[in-house]
């Protein structure tokens, strides 16, 4: 059985630990959910908000574009003070200046154990 959550523009649920680093790549598609969207000449970002609170932006990261996808690096300092369930949305501005959301999904951020944040931040310096 296929439902709306199986469409190409739906991002799968993912997770990370507060204070950890991740690199995520986001492929982008045209409205037909099949044709790759050429991002060259445009911009792309991913925005996180607490789940159910779209008026609050907790994290916003600009992506490094490679033709039909972009990569975002989440640094330990980006997530050190976050925990809980978040909604992520991919926002793309094409070369013509049109801005639209190409995908969204949920991210669980697990709190770090009290001793871990100082260790993680010390390693990055």
Taking only the tens place, the pLDDT of each residue in 62-119 is 999 999 999 999 999 999 999 999 999 999 998 889 898 888 999 999 998 775 555 5
Most confident of 2-16, 28-42, 46-60, 86-100: 46-60
pLDDT above 70 (res 123):
no
Hey, what's the torsion of the CAs at 59, 82, 56, 97, to 10 degrees? 10
Give the integer Cα–Cα distance in Å for 44 and 71. Answer: 9
Q: Are the C-beta atoms of residues 20 and 107 closer than 8 Å to each other?
A: no
- Strand segments, DSSP code E, in the chain are 14-17, 22-27, 43-50, 59-62, 64-66, 69-74, 84-93, 99-110
CATH class of 21-111: mainly beta
Q: Are the C-beta atoms of residues 82 and 74 closer than 8 Å to each other?
A: no
């Amino acid at each position: 059985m296929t439902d709306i959550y199986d469409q190409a523009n739906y991002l799968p649920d993912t997770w990370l630990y507060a204070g950890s680093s991740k690199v995520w790549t986001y492929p982008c598609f045209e409205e037909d959910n099949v044709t790759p969207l050429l991002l060259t000449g445009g911009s792309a970002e991913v925005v996180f908000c607490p789940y159910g609170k779209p008026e609050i932006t907790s994290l916003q990261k600009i992506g490094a574009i490679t033709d039909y996808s972009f990569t975002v690096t989440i640094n330990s300092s980006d997530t050190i003070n976050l925990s809980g369930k978040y909604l992520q949305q991919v926002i793309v501005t094409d070369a013509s200046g049109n801005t639209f959301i190409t995908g969204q999904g949920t991210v669980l951020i697990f709190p770090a154990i009290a001793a871990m944040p100082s260790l993680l931040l010390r390693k990055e310096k």
